[in-house]
Amino acid sequence: NAGVTQTPKFQVLKTGQSMTLQCAQDMNHEYMSWYRQDPGMGLRLIHYSVGAGITDQGEVPNGYNVSRSTTEDFPLRLLSAAPSQTSVYFCASRRTGANSNQPQHFGDGTRLSIL
């Protein structure tokens, strides 16, 4: 099983460029989310979705957009990249369940550097 697939694995951008980080899962999970991981900061939630057509903001949403047109895909868009967005980005998915009683499955991450 592929699980959660993120592309690309590495990317270097210049300040002001835009790009989309791709995330796809083949487990038919309703819930998907994006985190960024910076040294000493743990995983911080950017955006999440509880199903197709539904998205919501996490704790650090500024500078990022998301959409959820299908159950499988949850792309993350950087509209105008800034050096502060240099980070490792993880996509995760899980089945929905009362009170978050389902484990999250993480992709392998995208390492993004913005110059």
Partner 1 sequence: QQPVQSPQAVILREGEDAVINCSSSKALYSVHWYRQKHGEAPVFLMILLKGGEQKGHEKISASFNEKKQQSSLYLTASQLSYSGTYFCGTSNNNDMRFGAGTRLTVKP
Q: Is 10 in the site for partner 1 (CB under 8 A)?
A: no
Q: What is the contact mask toward partner 1 in residues 84 to 103, using x (rule: CB under 8 A)?
A: ------x-------xxxxxx
Please tell me the number of Cα atoms within 13 Å of 35 on its side-chain side: 18
Q: Is 61 in the site for partner 1 (CB under 8 A)?
A: no
Bridge partners of 6? 23
Q: Is 104 in the site for partner 1 (CB under 8 A)?
A: yes
User: What 8-state DSSP symbol labels residue 83?
Assistant: G
In angstroms, what is the minimal distance from the CB of 17 to partner 1?
Answer: 25
User: What 8-state DSSP symbol labels residue 62?
Assistant: T
